[in-house]
Amino acid sequence: MELRQIIDANFSTLLRCMDPSTELLGKLRSVVFLKDRIPSIKQQPTAIDKNDALLTALQEVPDNIQKSMIRDFTAALRSCGQEHVANIFRRESDKVPMSDEHFHVLKKESVELRKFLDPENGVLTQLFSSEVITSADKERVRSKKGFSDKAEELIDTIIRKSDDAFQALIDALNANGQSHVAYILTEQGDSQPLSKYRRE
């Protein structure tokens, strides 16, 4: 399947799960066709906008270099911890993007997660040590000032990861005294968040 066809068939998933990180865009500067396009991609205001601009640029790749572009692009993705995205273009492992089911659970429960999830209470460290998140991801979460903003950034980060990151988050919550937060995502276990009535 050609590059354009792969992008067209998986556009919404790529838009959602690809992380247009500084590291990825930096590596893509060495790809001749993309080199001059990277500065304008970096200037886009949001990750979704950056992804849209990058995917649009990839759809303009001439036919005669599409195979080499897939090779170079997937190599850059894999080197940046985005094997689940690279596998959309060229499958080499069982890593897949976050499933629709897990994505919708994380988005649906984002308000509750912002109230209860404490990323600094060992969760970030465990996710980093198990290579679910990168050093840049960890620092981005820690750069947020408020408790709920850190939780929101972590959820936004997890959504872009492979599907097994969902279970890794639950495991990290359970292992670090936040089983009540894991309950929000799974509705399983004895520990539940404090009710709104009791909070008030």
Extents of the domains making up the chain: 3-89, 100-199
| Fold of the CATH domain 100-199 | Death Domain, Fas (1.10.533)
Q: Which H or E run contains 155? A: helix 147-159
Architecture of 3-89 per CATH?
A: Orthogonal Bundle (1.10)
Per-residue pLDDT reduced to its tens digit, 42-100: 999 999 999 999 999 999 999 999 999 999 999 999 999 999 999 999 999 999 999 99
CB 141 within 8 A of CB 154: yes
- Its pTM stands at 0.87
Neighbouring residues of 129: CB distance < 8 A, sequence distance ≥ 6: none
The pair of structure tokens assigned to 43 is 């200037």
CA distance 63 to 154: 39
List the Cα angle 46/49/91 in 5-degree steps: 110
End-to-end CA distance of the chain: 57
Residues of the chain with pLDDT under 70: 1, 189-200
pLDDT at residue number 189: 61
The answer to whether the beta carbons of residues 2 and 66 sit under 8 Å apart is yes
pLDDT at 198: 40
- Sequence length of the chain is 200
Question: Environment class of residue 123 by beta-carbon count within 10 Å: exposed (0-12), middle (13-18) or buried (19+)?
Answer: buried
Question: In the prediction, which pLDDT does 190 show?
Answer: 64
Decide: residue 197, CB within 10 A, 0-12 exposed, 13-18 middle, 19+ buried: exposed
| Whether 58 contacts 3, CB under 8 Å | yes
Query: Are residues 173 and 124 in contact, defined by beta-carbon separation less than 8 angstroms?
Result: no
Quote the distance between the C-alpha of residue 134 and its chain's center: 10
**For residue 27, what are its two tokens?**
């590596």
R_g (Cα) of the chain, nearest Å:
18
